[in-house]
Structure 1
């Protein structure tokens, strides 16, 4: 069997939709036809591209790697026929929280002014890689180290850490706090996309208990309810103000590094322009 462009387009639709049924509807094909195409592609390649059940489909590690190569091949073919097509495709920029901090609005305004032919979509996705590892976005703004294989990280800037405490609690009366000031309270940990855990403290010196949540909204709500305290980057105070949460400087905590992250290999052609603008804005401040 020979692989044709239609096989790649079909696989990319499956990868983007995470569903054979939705991919079939998008391609105006029957579900069995899409399933046969995926099976034929896997047989030809000799690898498993997706794990699927009745209600779930997820790309394997080999499937994610092949998705990037397939996307590059299809993009190159389409670009050869229509050089404007890729420049019109939106550039999807993910973030789990706080986006580009104080540079978010300047980034969006400069992009709109300088590259109106390529819409920039800023997407908040509650995931450690903001959907990048799953192919939901083209690039992501991430804080702290990311150990997911297949990602390329470019350092942009550092931001100080701050404490997030109940607005009506005794810690909010202080103008500044230390890590030692926080250890008597439970630590609220966002286990999905957060960057702070008890490991921020020396061994044995951190909070005795933790409360886990799965997104930024629940993290804020739990702190406001006086169920514990949190530690985050300074951008959170500006991007996520909350009437029940007070943010205080935490000068003895190590700062957070902020990165622009993309997948290895060819990606959206506008990513280099995004990286250049992000570097300019961060270094200009």
Structure 2
């Protein structure tokens, strides 16, 4: 058989079951548990994984330790496999066949003050394509995993395979316990927060210790995984936080006081989508978001 034909046959041997098998292994961190979840034998799971690795020419799973772990290539492939599987399942879902919704993700605060105008205008001008706003606690709000078609994100976005457009910027604010002496000031500076503990949302947030100058960074941090836990930790007096101005209006909390933080750089608000096979209405969404921000 000619080489070209042999290569083609290898590519055609990879099926959705290989992706489902790999994702089960990645999520379960165990061949045994993945096999039970898929109702397969462990040898069958091992053979399926080996076939996928052979096709990709890369080791996806590190089996050299007692605890199964993904390699760097495996972690990169996990997002691609999840997005491909989600796209396939959406494509063959009978309920989505006639009116495929446009799923718009966000990690917190959506489009800030422009959220309601965007949703209402979209419903009025594009009733044939429902716009679903989904909060997903992830740095790309589920976009790289294929859970949404586009996402409203804050800060720099460097995930591969995404197209981004900056729509606006938001000033940053400090979030402090309501009974803290800091809450009595009209505004704060970064050095006012550096003397205590800072609460960081390491899953979907944008604030890191690099926001502070080197040598003047907070010595202690508390890490959380979402905005709700971030607010709870600050209200409980475990630390202070930094976020965008829209957080203050869209996420009020009786135990948290927001104050302007004028020496912190503004936070970009971007619309992101995948460059491969975008939703057909993506262009209309980008254009409408631009117009709303500009006041057109």
Report if TM-score (shorter chain) is over 0.5. Answer: yes
Q: Are positions 1:239 and 2:250 aligned together?
A: yes
CA shift, 1:214, in A, is 1.1
CA shift, 1:206, in A, is 2.1
Alignment of 1:52-91 (within 5 A): 61-62=76-77, 64-65=79-80, 88-91=99-102
Give the match for residue 191 of structure 1: 202
Structure 1, unaligned runs of 5 or more: 25-29
The whole-number CA distance in structure 2 between the counterparts of 1:66 and 1:165 is 41
Say what the alpha-carbon RMSD is for the aligned residues: 3.8
The whole-number CA distance in structure 2 between the counterparts of 1:151 and 1:56 is 26
The whole-number CA distance in structure 2 between the counterparts of 1:281 and 1:245 is 30
Q: Deviations over 1:91-146 (max 9, x none)?
A: 11111111110011111111111111111111111111111111111111110012
Q: How many residues matched?
A: 272
Alignment of 1:266-285 (within 5 A): 266-284=277-295
CA shift, 1:232, in A, is 0.4
The whole-number CA distance in structure 2 between the counterparts of 1:67 and 1:12 is 8
Out of 107, 112, 118, the residue aligned to residue 101 of structure 1 is: 112
In 2, are the aligned partners of 1:159 and 1:256 still within 8 Å (CA)?
A: yes
In 1, are the aligned partners of 2:21 and 2:49 still within 8 Å (CA)?
A: no
Give the match for residue 124 of structure 1: 135
Structure 2, unaligned runs of 5 or more: 1-8, 29-33
The whole-number CA distance in structure 1 between the counterparts of 2:240 and 2:254 is 15
Out of 207, 211, 214, the residue aligned to residue 218 of structure 2 is: 207
Give the match for residue 190 of structure 2: 179
The whole-number CA distance in structure 2 between the counterparts of 1:40 and 1:60 is 16
Out of 117, 122, 127, the residue aligned to residue 111 of structure 1 is: 122
Give the match for residue 161 of structure 1: 172
CA shift, 1:49, in A, is 11
SS at match of 2:258: strand
For normalisation by structure 1, the TM-score amounts to 0.77
SS at match of 1:247: strand
SS at match of 1:242: coil
Out of 258, 263, 281, the residue aligned to residue 252 of structure 1 is: 263
The whole-number CA distance in structure 2 between the counterparts of 1:182 and 1:95 is 27
Change (3 A) 1:64 1:185: closer
